[in-house]
Each structure stands twice: as structure tokens, then as C-alpha cells.
Amino acid sequence: MKTFSRIELNPSIMGGKPCIKGARVTVGTIVGLIASGASFENILKDYPYLNNGDIIEALEYAAWRTSEIEVELEPA
């Protein structure tokens, strides 16, 4: 499994959704903002406790998750 130093999954934080460590901002929020046309500059203005590296790693994490393949196992 690829490791991500800025992303955490903790069941007691944001319902276990992947978040930027210490920020309570989900990867989904960042991806959604980018998808709706927000620039890094706009995101950093709205979330001043984030930095470019946080945004980049959130996008890398989202891309990595979409490349996973789930294989359904046959019952024994």
C-alpha cells in the first residue's frame, strides 16, 4: 500500500473519511473544490491552515484510490 504522510483515516475524526492530518478537511472536500473550478490559491484562502502540499497529496490519494481494483471472492 502506498503511504501518504499528510492523510489520516481515523474513525473518530470526520466519520473515518480520509482527511488532511490535523485539519479536519476531507480529501473529498478538496477534490470537490478542484472539480468545481477552485484554484489552489482560492482553496488556500478559504483554508489558510492548508498548504500546496496538502492539496497535492489529497489529489494523489484520490487518484490512488480510484486505481484500486476490488475483486469479489467466490464463497468457499
The tens digit of pLDDT for each residue in 21-75 reads 999 999 999 999 999 999 999 999 999 999 999 999 999 999 998 886 666 666 6
Model confidence, pTM: 0.84
Q: Nearest CA to 7 among 57, 66, 68? A: 57
pLDDT at 66: 86
Q: Does 14 score more than 70 pLDDT?
A: yes
Domain boundaries, the chain: 7-65
| Cα gap 43→38, rounded to integer Å | 7
> How far is C-alpha 22 from the geometric centre of its chain's CA atoms?
13
CB 17 within 8 A of CB 28: yes
Q: Which CATH architecture describes the domain 7-65?
A: Orthogonal Bundle (1.10)
Rg of the chain's alpha carbons, rounded to an integer? 14
